[in-house]
Amino acid sequence: MSIIDFFTSPDWGTVPDWLAAIGTISAVVVALRLAHRDAERLDEERREAKEDRDEAAKERALFREQQAAEAEERKRRLAARVTLVVEPFHDGAEKFIKWTVHNAGDEPISMVSVVRRPLPRNGSQEKPDVQVCHTWPSIEARGERTKVTQVHDAFKMREGEVQFLDGAGQRWQRKEFGSLRMLSRDYPDTLGMVMIER
């Protein structure tokens, strides 16, 4: 059958057949278009939901970091208000040290120990003999404690320090000359509670 015969053939079908065919093709096109649009909308909603989840996760992480930083700053402010005054003095031939621990913070501190620690020597392998001079179970907010101890090794260079727990249970070390450090449980300088009565 030639092209001319095809177009001149009287059997092109009925008008209802043509309308049905056009309707079917139109329905398929519309269905595909709607499906494509719905898929695009679903993809967009998924992208937005993922962006929202990512943004919420970032905000939660930032909030946790801010909370941790604020808690750390609160602890540091509290610990910074604890001071140690070390006053050596003589009473005749005897040498003494007056230890005064001030807690100017708004919370009590506990497991308070005053210590004399040898100053480090260059290249020395000698194990330091730390002397715990006195301890107090606690010092109330805006309170202080004083203790006088005798010096038995006046020729050894030593530095005083105080160690204590803040209200959150964190251990701190304040050196006589002002440095402040947070101590972990396994840090070599960390002292437990050693009750001394003198």
**Average pLDDT for runs of 10 along the chain of length 198:** 59 73 87 89 90 90 86 72 89 88 91 84 64 90 92 75 87 83 75 51
Say how far apart CA 193 and CA 34 lie, in whole Å. 75
In a domain, 161, yes or no: yes
Does 111 lie in the same domain as 160?
yes
Backbone φ, ψ for residue 170 (5° rounding): -85, 135
The pTM for the full model equals 0.58
CA atoms within 13 Å, Cβ hemisphere of 138: 10
User: What per-residue string of b and e applies to 5-37 under the rule 16 or more CB within 10 Å gives b?
Assistant: eeeeeeeeeeeeeeeeeeeeeeeeeeeeeeeee
Token pair of 100 as six digits: 């005064």
Token pair of 110 as six digits: 């506990």
Does 124 lie in the same domain as 61?
no
Does 74 lie in the same domain as 90?
no
pLDDT for the residue 8:
61
Does 178 lie in the same domain as 87?
yes
pLDDT for the residue 12:
61
Within 8 A by CB and 6+ apart from 173, the residues are: 161, 162, 163, 180, 181, 183, 189, 190
Q: What range does the domain containing 41 cover?
A: 1-80
Backbone φ, ψ for residue 7 (5° rounding): -75, -25
